[in-house]
């Protein structure tokens, strides 16, 4: 692995995780910053003429990510690619994980064949309780496929499943589906560390979340179901996506600078 390499053309592929949902910034495309922007801001200090593109669109499943984003990414001739996919697939009632992994492997093979450094991600460990508990097993199986693909293709893995150094509740947004600003900062640091890129990013403060009384927890769960889970299920039933009509965040390679 070429740890410490300076990258000049970074392209990010994926879904809401990579688009930056949960890390709002009105000055950015799609009104979001996110971990990929934060990574790009550091990489931009390493070389002249740095370019960054982010083709991610919220709600996308793995095959649409490949179908819509792979060719545009290859056309940009990146030397660094990050790709996160599969999270929206494993949450569906039915999913063929083996077929999904085969499609993922084909896409990663095309990316690595260009000589670009490629970074993949496992899905986070949701634990055995809570809303994601019932699909924890399939998430673990999918993650094993990610690691196998990465081993076979010489790809860097940011293993979110094994991240035990932070409280997941504190770095999740109020929708319980996406990272908040502190979570995106945490992920940016993990990606840069995996790439062997020196940086001075520091964890952002997280708010202390006390354990609520049972009645308050029930009220919070009801509110969350009404505001977030209900609309999510309705989109699934009606065949719609939160990304319908949303353009790629940064479709071409452009410079990027830190805020302020």
Residue 251 to residue 231: CA distance in whole angstroms: 28
In the chain, pLDDT over 90 holds for what percent of residues?
Answer: 68
In the chain, pLDDT over 70 holds for what percent of residues?
Answer: 81
Contact of 253 with 79, CB cutoff 8 Å: no
Average pLDDT over residues 101-120: 98
Residue 1: the pLDDT is: 40
pTM of the model: 0.86
Residue 137 to residue 132: CA distance in whole angstroms: 10
Contact of 244 with 59, CB cutoff 8 Å: yes
Q: Considering the domain boundaries, does residue 227 fall inside one?
A: no
Read off the pLDDT band of 225 (50, 70, 90): low
Q: Considering the domain boundaries, does residue 126 fall inside one?
A: yes
pLDDT digits (tens, 9 = 90+) for 171-183: 886 666 789 999 9
Q: Considering the domain boundaries, does residue 165 fall inside one?
A: yes
Does the pLDDT of residue 2 top 50, yes or no?
no
**How many domains does one find in the chain?**
1
Task: Pick the more confident residue, 7 or 230.
Answer: 7
Residue 230 to residue 67: CA distance in whole angstroms: 28
Sign of the alpha-carbon dihedral angle for 29, 35, 36, 40: positive
CATH code for the domain of 147: 3.40.50.1110
Strands of 88-221 (E only): list them.
117-121, 156-158
Domain range for 145 is 9-211+245-254
Average pLDDT over residues 138-151: 97
Residue 157 to residue 260: CA distance in whole angstroms: 31
Does the pLDDT of residue 43 top 70, yes or no?
yes
Q: Considering the domain boundaries, does residue 220 fall inside one?
A: no
Residue 258: the pLDDT is: 84
pLDDT digits (tens, 9 = 90+) for 25-36: 999 999 999 999
Q: Considering the domain boundaries, does residue 112 fall inside one?
A: yes
Average pLDDT, the chain: 87
pLDDT digits (tens, 9 = 90+) for 12-25: 999 999 999 999 99
Q: Considering the domain boundaries, does residue 106 fall inside one?
A: yes
What angle do helix axes 62-75 and 97-112 make, rounded to 10 degrees?
10
Which tokens hold the place of 242? Answer: 């939160």
Residues in contact with 32: Cβ distance below 8 Å, sequence separation at least 6, in sequence order: 19, 20, 21, 23, 24, 25, 249
- CA terminus-to-terminus distance, the chain: 34
Q: Considering the domain boundaries, does residue 216 fall inside one?
A: no
pLDDT digits (tens, 9 = 90+) for 56-80: 999 999 999 999 999 999 999 999 9
Q: What is the longest distance spanned by two Cα atoms in the chain? A: 56
- What is the four-CA torsion angle of 138, 144, 146, 152, rounded to 10 degrees? -150
Residue 57: the pLDDT is: 96
Residue 137: the pLDDT is: 94
Residue 184 to residue 182: CA distance in whole angstroms: 6
Q: Considering the domain boundaries, does residue 2 fall inside one?
A: no
> Which residue from 117, 98, 112 is spatially nearest to 192, judged by alpha carbons?
117
Residue 217: the pLDDT is: 52
Does the pLDDT of residue 123 top 70, yes or no?
yes
Which tokens hold the place of 189? Answer: 């640091």
């Amino acid at each position: 692995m070429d740890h410490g390499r300076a990258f000049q053309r970074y392209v990010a592929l994926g879904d809401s995780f990579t688009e930056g949902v949960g890390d709002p910034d009105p000055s950015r495309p799609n009104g979001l910053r996110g971990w990929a922007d934060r990574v790009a801001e550091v990489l931009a200090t390493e070389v002249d003429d740095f370019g960054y593109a982010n083709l991610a669109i919220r709600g996308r499943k793995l095959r649409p990510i490949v179908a819509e984003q792979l060719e545009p990414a290859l056309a940009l001739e990146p030397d660094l690619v990050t790709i996160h996919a599969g999270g929206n697939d494993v949450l569906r009632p039915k999913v063929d994980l083996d077929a999904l992994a085969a499609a993922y492997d084909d896409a990663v093979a095309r990316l690595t064949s260009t000589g670009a450094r490629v970074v993949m991600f496992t899905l986070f460990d949701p634990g055995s309780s809570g809303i994601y508990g019932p699909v924890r097993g399939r998430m673990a199986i999918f993650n094993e496929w990610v690691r196998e693909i990465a081993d076979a293709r010489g790809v860097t893995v940011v293993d979110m499943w094994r991240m035990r150094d932070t409280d997941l509740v504190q770095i999740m947004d109020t929708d319980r589906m996406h990272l908040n600003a502190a979570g995106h900062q945490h992920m940016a640091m993990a990606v840069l560390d995996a790439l062997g890129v020196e940086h001075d990013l520091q964890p952002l403060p997280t708010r202390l979340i006390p354990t609520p009384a049972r009645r308050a927890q029930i009220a919070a769960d009801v509110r969350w179901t009404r505001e977030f889970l209900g609309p999510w299920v309705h989109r699934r039933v009606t065949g719609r996506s939160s990304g319908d009509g949303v353009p790629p965040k940064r479709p071409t390679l452009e410079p990027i600078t830190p805020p302020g």
